[in-house]
């Protein structure tokens, strides 16, 4: 007995080790050995489709990979001998080809074996059976005749299939027969009638059986039912059709479905009810079928055993039946199937095969597929019923154990291996893996491990100061470390250490705790008119290291693909809203770790509201109430007022502080219009009174009545003053200033400020003073411009504020005490100099260095003609500069300058004043250039010296060149002039020629810019007089001048040139397209055009322009007939030169254009001629018909007809008649006959009657009449007629055609 207890204690100890047993992860540790493990196998009862190949699954894993073999019906199945069976590579799965052998040949019990050198695993028994769907046996079904009111059973009796078929009743139209509480189908498929009615008569009661495995349906022969109503049947109380008797029994297995049925007959139709006599019905697992005739209980357990009673009842009575239910159980696992063991040499372990069943099952063990009693002995192994105990196990004891549990209702079989390994710890989780989790969420950090013996897991964080085995950390058996609520402080580096007797293994992972994604501003309910735009805002806050994605939904679906919907980063805009846009819009912000969403509804209303709907501002909220009162918060609730047909968008909460600022309302917060409560965060030491305003599309409501006062308790300040600064107003003080706290920020009475300061560069203590009702403090007697550290802390009667931040400042500044030294100047050119100096030492500046100033001024010019200047100029160079450029100097001048430093207080002493000279520069342009004394071949130029000489003038340069009529420049002539000259006369110039002059001055530095001028020499007076005559007689056709020169003015004032008209011989003539204007032109201007306007036009009509494009004539098109126009020519030069006009012409446009008309080209004449030709042609045809009606036709008449000019052919070109000529070629045409009195030429339009005869001979009677028959066909015409020969029509046909036409 004592020994038995010790064994039990040992078993309990070893069970603890079993709970931590490990599986060898072959996918990660491929080098470790492992016995086989079955990973896939076909079901125990395997029904196959005879139409498809048979696939029997068997897969296993192990190291090395296992080999496979099979048994069939208990004996070895040699796969190699059966050509129809193939085993898949690297697998034990069998594939049976049934194309050459029937499937039923392979029915039987199969078992798969997987083995390697470490053990053998076996599958359960796989029973292969072929599915069957047999036909109904042929039978002759007689018609069933019953009396109305009696009960009836229509038997189905389907063929036994595998698996059993599903039964249903239908008619010939494949429509299910209606069932009810009167008519229903039983579990065996029969159709029961509690009582029959006349309408039950039909000839198509058909029972169908559907075999689900092969998806086939079999049909029973139709049953005919005829219901008679000859003898009425009396009403009766119910009796059971099934089951029979007053009681019955039923056995069901645990976990299966229990189905019980009671079908009763009676008149009227009875109702069925169920109760459990030995307890309550399991309402969660039960259901009624077939109008409560069937009670169905799923997932049966032992508690479902007992007595069930069904009752059938109608108005005449009731009947009962009791069903005794017994629940049996095939074997099932308790705590799961046996688990694999991985043990180190010398360790202990337990394999447990714990199962139950009804009746109690028996348990047998096998090792590597062999009963354990027949297996090799192992001293470390001990078998005790459902347990195998291993003690001090050694290498070589690895094996696979099979546990078989069976009773009368089934069996369980499981494989579990014992793998003896000696392995140091390993952590299988990837190194440096980063885990990310959202703040306040659960975090799990993995540490998948392996080792034999089983390692112990220890977790460390960052510095490894202590193990993580307490709150908030939870360590699981599989090595996972869990933090129930992760916070930012939990982020960091974590170390997982796996340790056993063979070593230690560490792995590092990282945890990052991210801020949650939150929608700060949710989209709001919107009411918008059709055709307008609406914007839904969705502002989001998320962790900056996570990538967000914004998605919008409409009515929980995708947004319509419509360009009117514009999605931005934080909003959705809908333009031109329509009725279909109404709905609920949801914004979803997703990150890789979390998401947040918010929704709002859009209501679309008509653009013009109906008069019955009035939109107004909402009424003010009412019933303000304060609840949940705390030190710094309170809950405010209210009742909304009437919306007035416009939904409330939001509520605005305001407060009044009667302690600090009575009578002034301040905005506190806003809440959406769907809420009527707000949690308000408050400040200490405030006497709050609240009110609420509602906002809809029409605006804010009136404020609500104020709430009752809520006073918060005083407290120490929460914050210190901001904007602390230090500066000096005098050279020996320090002003400390700050932005004072408001009454709301004071948090209590007695607000004051603790001001602290100390020199920064000196080791000194803080000097502290306390001030009230002030925002600055002046420290006197400070050194000049010394850095200080400053602090200002808020204090009230309830304590001090937080530790203030340190600010920095300087005491007051003073003027600099030193001037820049070593001042030098470098003259770079005549207008630019560079000044250099040594910076003033910082301690002598005595303040913030602002920069340096260079003062400079022009003392005098080195040229005696330029004036004297004394104006001082200043150049400022900000910052610590040591040199600067002085631009804009005047050449050839003397300048003075000095330099001084300046700070925030002002300027320092002046450096010694120095002077420098600027060199000469290039002079400016001469002040003026005019032309005087213009003659035929000379011009005189006069000028003034440059105003800005910039040095000594050494001379002038004059250049000039001629300009022709096309503004092209000729060769350049150049003259060098002395400095003291101011005029020059140019001889030997060309008469009547334009010249351009350029004049510039020079110094030793070079020539300056030039001044230019143009002038024209005078024209010869003899040519002038000739030109005067031509212009005066321009429109009278005078002779053109042989010298088209510009006309000089008749009289010229001494210093001005009058414009001369460059036009001559201006004339006009009237053409078909309009007046033609001609002229001669010898001026230099290229822009020439014609101007015209109506004579005596009313108002100020403008001249119309017509460009001439370089020609000397132009046609004025589009002028109105019958009007007179004023016409002139205009030459336009440069913008500063006058226009040149010709003398005006008066041109009259005729009212009707005088042109001769050719009558032969007029349409009316051509039409008249064609009509006459058509009438003549008709007369010819009529005459021809009359002569061929059968009368006598003398040959002479026929000949005369040929000579009648009225019947000659018409010429094709002018529709006139051709003249007959005897002088034409008298050669007869082919196929024609020559008359006896001469020759007649057959014209192209002529037809010979001989051509209609049969052959070449015609017959004549006594008077010469032609008696031939008009039925023949003419022969071919002469080849000279080309390919246009045609077949001659029959005269008879022609006559008939005309008769019918007439």
Whether the Cβ atoms of residue 498 and residue 447 lie closer than 8 Å to each other: yes
For residues 658, 660, 663 and 665, what is the CA-based torsion angle, rounded to 10 degrees? -100
Q: What is the pLDDT of residue 139?
A: 80
Residue pLDDT, tens place only, 991-1033: 888 888 999 999 988 898 999 888 888 754 444 333 343 333 3
Residue pLDDT, tens place only, 531-554: 888 999 898 888 888 888 989 999
Q: What is the pLDDT of residue 867?
A: 55
What tokens appear for 85 in the block? 């069976």
- In order of 40, 86, 115, 192, 246, the CA distances from 93 in angstroms are 9, 8, 14, 48, 53
For residues 500, 501, 503 and 509, what is the CA-based torsion angle, rounded to 10 degrees? 10
What tokens appear for 1257 in the block? 């001979």
Whether the Cβ atoms of residue 975 and residue 961 lie closer than 8 Å to each other: no
Q: Would you list the DSSP string of 413-464? A: EEEEEEEE--EEEEE-SPTTEEEEEETTS-EEE---EEEESPPEEEEEETTT
Report which of 260, 255, 264 is spatially closest to residue 274, judged by C-alpha positions: 260
Q: Would you list the DSSP string of 1073-1118? A: SSEEEEEEE--S--EEEEEEEETT-SS-PPPEEEE-TT-SEEE--S
SS3 of residue 191 by DSSP? strand
Q: Which residues of 138-159 are buried (b: 16+ CB within 10 A; e: fewer)?
A: eeeeeeeebebbbbbebebebe
- In order of 34, 111, 122, 887, 1070, the CA distances from 60 in angstroms are 11, 13, 10, 96, 117
Residue pLDDT, tens place only, 1188-1203: 754 444 433 434 444 3
Q: How confident is the model at residue 870 (pLDDT cuts 50, 70, 90)?
A: low
The rounded mean pLDDT for the chain is: 82
> For residues 212 and 145, what is the distance between their CA atoms, to the nearest angstrom?
35
SS3 of residue 483 by DSSP? strand
- The residue-averaged pLDDT of 168-190 equals 90
Report which of 1065, 1064, 926, 1085 is spatially closest to residue 994, judged by C-alpha positions: 1085
- The residue-averaged pLDDT of 1074-1095 equals 82
Q: What are phi and psi of 488, to 5 degrees?
A: -60, -35
Q: Which of 103-117, 819-833, 1060-1074 has the lowest mean pLDDT?
A: 1060-1074
Q: What are phi and psi of 916, to 5 degrees?
A: -150, 155
Query: Which residue's entry shows tokens 């695993």?
Result: 121
- Residue 1041 DSSP code: P
> For residues 220 and 169, what is the distance between their CA atoms, to the nearest angstrom?
10
Whether the Cβ atoms of residue 570 and residue 598 lie closer than 8 Å to each other: no
What percent of the chain clears pLDDT 70, i.e. is strictly above it? 83
> For residues 1243 and 528, what is the distance between their CA atoms, to the nearest angstrom?
95
- The residue-averaged pLDDT of 949-958 equals 89
Residue pLDDT, tens place only, 449-507: 988 888 999 998 887 777 887 788 888 988 999 999 999 889 999 999 999 988 999 99
CA R_g for the chain: 64
> For residues 200 and 169, what is the distance between their CA atoms, to the nearest angstrom?
14
> For residues 149 and 229, what is the distance between their CA atoms, to the nearest angstrom?
8
Check whether the bond before 550 is cis (ω within 30° of 0). Answer: no
Sign of the CA dihedral 425, 428, 430, 434?
A: negative
- Kindly list the strands in the beta sheet with 443-445, ordered across the sheet, starting from the edge strand earlier in the chain: 443-445, 481-483, 473-475
What tokens appear for 619 in the block? 């009424």
Helix pair 1163-1187, 1291-1301: axis angle to 10 deg: 120
- The residue-averaged pLDDT of 514-539 equals 90
Length, in residues, of the chain: 1302
Q: What are phi and psi of 1160, to 5 degrees?
A: -70, -15
3-state secondary structure 959-1023: EEEEECCCCCECCCEEEEECCCCCEEEECCCCCCCEEEEEEEEEECCEECCCEEEEEECCCCHHH
> For residues 580 and 1013, what is the distance between their CA atoms, to the nearest angstrom?
79
CA 386 to chain centre: 66
Q: What is the pLDDT of residue 30?
A: 65
Residue 1125 reports pLDDT greater than 80 = yes
CA angle 418, 424, 428 (to 5 degrees): 90
- Kindly list the strands in the beta sheet with 549-554, ordered across the sheet, starting from the edge strand earlier in the chain: 526-529, 595-605, 583-590, 549-554, 557-558
> For residues 57 and 60, what is the distance between their CA atoms, to the nearest angstrom?
10
> For residues 325 and 609, what is the distance between their CA atoms, to the nearest angstrom?
72
- In order of 113, 341, 355, 919, the CA distances from 415 in angstroms are 11, 11, 14, 113
Residue 671 reports pLDDT greater than 90 = yes
Sign of the CA dihedral 1223, 1224, 1225, 1227?
A: negative
What tokens appear for 528 in the block? 């918008």
Check whether the bond before 987 is cis (ω within 30° of 0). Answer: no
Q: What is the pLDDT of residue 804?
A: 93
Q: What is the pLDDT of residue 368?
A: 92
- The residue-averaged pLDDT of 304-327 equals 94
- In order of 39, 67, 92, the CA distances from 89 in angstroms are 16, 10, 8
Phi-psi region of 531 (alpha: psi -120 to 50; beta: other; left: phi over 0): left
Residue 82's Cβ-side half-sphere holds a number of Cα atoms within 13 Å equal to 19
Residue 120 reports pLDDT greater than 90 = yes
């Amino acid at each position: 007995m004592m020994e038995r207890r010790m064994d039990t204690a040992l078993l309990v100890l070893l069970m603890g080790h079993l709970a931590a047993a490990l599986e060898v992860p072959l996918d990660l540790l491929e080098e470790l050995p492992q016995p086989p493990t079955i990973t896939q196998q076909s079901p125990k009862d395997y029904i196959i489709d005879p139409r498809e190949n048979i696939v029997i699954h068997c897969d296993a894993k192990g190291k090395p990979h296992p080999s496979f073999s099979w048994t069939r019906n208990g004996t070895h199945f040699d796969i190699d001998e059966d050509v129809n069976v193939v085993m898949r590579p690297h697998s034990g799965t069998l594939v049976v080809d049934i194309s050459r052998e029937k499937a039923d040949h392979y029915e039987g019990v199969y078992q798969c074996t997987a083995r390697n050198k470490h053990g053998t695993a076996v599958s359960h028994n796989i029973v292969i059976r072929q599915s069957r769907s047999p036909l109904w046996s042929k039978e002759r079904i007689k018609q069933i005749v019953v009396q109305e009111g009696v009960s009836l059973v229509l038997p189905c009796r389907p063929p036994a299939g595998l698996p059993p078929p599903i039964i249903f009743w239908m008619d010939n139209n494949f429509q299910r027969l209606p069932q009810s509480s009167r008519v229903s189908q039983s579990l065996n498929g029969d159709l029961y009638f509690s009582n029959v009615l006349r309408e039950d008569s039909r000839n198509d009661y058909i029972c169908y059986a559907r075999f689900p495995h092969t998806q086939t349906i079999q049909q029973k022969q139709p049953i005919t039912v005829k219901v008679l109503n000859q003898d009425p049947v009396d009403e009766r109380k119910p009796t059971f059709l099934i089951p029979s008797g007053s009681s019955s029994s039923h056995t069901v297995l645990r976990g299966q479905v229990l189905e019980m049925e009671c079908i009763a007959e009676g008149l009227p139709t009875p109702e069925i009810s169920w109760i459990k006599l030995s307890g309550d019905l399991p309402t969660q697992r039960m259901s009624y079928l077939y109008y409560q005739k069937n009670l169905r209980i799923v997932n049966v357990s032992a508690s479902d055993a007992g007595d069930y009673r069904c009752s059938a009842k109608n108005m005449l009575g009731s009947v009962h039946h009791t069903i005794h239910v017994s629940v049996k159980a095939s074997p099932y696992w308790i705590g799961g199937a046996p688990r694999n063991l991985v043990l180190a040499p010398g360790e202990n372990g337990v394999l447990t095969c714990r199962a139950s069943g009804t009746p109690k099952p028996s348990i047998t063990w096998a090792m590597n597929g062999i009963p354990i009693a027949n297996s090799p002995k192992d001293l470390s192994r001990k078998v005790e019923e459902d347990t195998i105990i291993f003690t001090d196990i050694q290498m070589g004891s690895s094996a696979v154990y099979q546990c078989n549990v069976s009773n009368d209702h089934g069996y369980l079989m499981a494989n579990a291996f014992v793998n003896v390994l000696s392995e140091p710890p390993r952590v299988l989780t990837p190194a440096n893996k980063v885990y990310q989790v959202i703040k306040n969420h659960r975090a799990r950090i993995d540490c998948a491990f392996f080792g034999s013996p089983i390692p112990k897991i220890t977790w460390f964080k960052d510095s490894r100061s202590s193990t993580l085995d307490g709150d908030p950390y939870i360590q699981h058996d599989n090595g996972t470390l869990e933090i129930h609520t992760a916070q930012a402080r939990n982020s960091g580096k974590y170390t997982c250490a796996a340790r056993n007797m063979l070593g230690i293994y560490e792995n590092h992972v990282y945890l990052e705790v991210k801020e949650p994604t939150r929608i700060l501003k949710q989209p709001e309910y919107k009411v918008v008119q059709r055709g307008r735009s609406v914007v839904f805002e969705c502002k989001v806050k998320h962790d900056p290291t996570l990538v967000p994605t914004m998605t919008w939904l409409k009515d929980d679906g995708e947004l319509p693909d419509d360009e009117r919907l514009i999605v931005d980063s934080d909003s959705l805009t809908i333009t031109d809203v329509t009725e279909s846009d109404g709905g609920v819009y949801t914004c979803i912000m997703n990150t890789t770790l979390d998401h947040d969403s918010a929704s709002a509804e859009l209501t679309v209303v008509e653009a013009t509201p109906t008069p019955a709907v009035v939109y107004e501002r909402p009424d003010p909220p009412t019933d303000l109430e304060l609840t949940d009162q705390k030190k710094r918060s309170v809950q405010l609730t209210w009742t909304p007022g009437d919306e007035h047909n416009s939904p409330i968008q939001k509520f605005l909460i305001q407060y009044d502080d009667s302690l600090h600022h009575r009578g002034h309302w301040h905005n506190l917060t806003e809440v959406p219009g769907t809420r009527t409560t707000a949690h308000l965060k408050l400040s200490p030491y405030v006497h709050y009174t609240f009110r609420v305003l509602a906002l809809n599309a029409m605006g804010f409501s009136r404020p609500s009545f104020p709430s009752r006062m809520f006073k918060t308790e005083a407290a120490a300040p929460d914050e210190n003053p901001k904007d602390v600064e230090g500066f000096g107003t005098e050279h020996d003080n320090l002003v400390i200033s700050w932005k004072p706290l408001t009454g709301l920020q004071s948090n209590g009475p007695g607000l004051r400020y603790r001001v602290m300061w100390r020199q920064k560069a000196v080791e000194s203590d803080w000097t502290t003073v306390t001030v009230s009702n002030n925002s600055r403090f002046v420290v006197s007697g400070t050194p000049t411009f010394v850095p200080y550290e400053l602090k200002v802390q808020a204090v009230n009667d309830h304590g001090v504020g937080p530790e203030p931040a340190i600010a920095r400042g300087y005491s007051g500044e003073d003027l600099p005490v030193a001037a820049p030294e070593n001042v030098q100047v470098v003259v770079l050119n005549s207008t630019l100099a560079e000044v250099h100096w040594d910076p003033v030492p910082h301690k002598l500046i005595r303040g913030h260095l602002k920069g340096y100033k260079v003062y400079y001024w022009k003392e005098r010019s080195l040229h005696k003609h330029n004036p004297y200047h004394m104006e001082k100029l200043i150049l400022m160079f900000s910052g610590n500069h040591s040199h600067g450029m002085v631009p804009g100097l005047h050449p050839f001048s003397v300048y003075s300058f000095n330099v001084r430093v300046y700070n925030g207080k002002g300027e320092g002493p002046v450096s010694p004043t120095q002077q420098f000279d600027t060199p000469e520069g290039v002079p400016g342009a001469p002040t003026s250039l005019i032309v005087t004394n213009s003659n035929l071949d000379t011009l005189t130029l006069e000028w003034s010296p440059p105003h800005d000489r910039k040095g000594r003038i050494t001379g002038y340069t004059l250049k000039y060149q001629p300009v022709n009529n096309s503004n092209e420049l000729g060769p350049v002539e150049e003259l060098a002039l002395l400095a003291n000259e101011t005029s020059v006369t140019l001889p030997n110039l060309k008469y009547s020629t334009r010249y351009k002059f350029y004049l510039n001055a020079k110094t030793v530095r070079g020539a300056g810019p030039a001044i230019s001028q143009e002038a024209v020499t005078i024209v010869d007076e003899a040519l002038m007089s000739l030109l005067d005559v031509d212009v005066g007689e321009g429109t009278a056709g005078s002779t053109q001048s042989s010298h088209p020169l510009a006309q000089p003015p008749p009289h010229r004032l001494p210093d001005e040139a009058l414009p001369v008209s460059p036009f001559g011989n201006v004339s006009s003539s009237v053409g078909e397209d309009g007046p033609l204007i001609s002229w001669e032109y010898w001026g230099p201007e290229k822009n020439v055009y014609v101007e015209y306007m109506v004579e005596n036009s009313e108002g100020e009509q403008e001249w119309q322009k017509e460009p001439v494009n370089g020609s000397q004539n132009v046609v004025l098109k589009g002028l109105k007939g019958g009007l007179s126009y004023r016409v002139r020519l205009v030459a336009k030069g440069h913008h500063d030169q006058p226009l040149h006009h010709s003398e005006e012409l008066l041109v009259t446009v005729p009212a009707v254009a005088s042109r001769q008309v050719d009558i032969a080209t007029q349409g009316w004449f051509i039409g008249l001629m064609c009509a006459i030709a058509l009438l003549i042609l008709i007369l010819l045809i009529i005459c021809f018909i009359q002569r061929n009606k059968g009368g006598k036709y003398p040959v002479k008449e026929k000949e005369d007809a040929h000579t009648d000019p009225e019947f000659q052919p018409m010429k094709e070109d002018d529709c006139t008649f051709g003249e007959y000529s005897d002088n034409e070629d008298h050669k007869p045409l082919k196929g024609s006959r020559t008359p006896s009195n001469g020759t007649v030429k057959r014209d192209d339009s002529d037809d010979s009657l001989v051509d209609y005869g049969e052959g070449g001979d015609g017959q004549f009677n006594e008077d010469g009449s032609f008696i031939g028959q008009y039925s023949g066909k003419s022969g071919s015409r002469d080849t000279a007629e080309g390919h246009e020969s045609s077949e001659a029509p029959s005269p008879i046909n022609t006559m008939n055609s005309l008769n019918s036409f007439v």
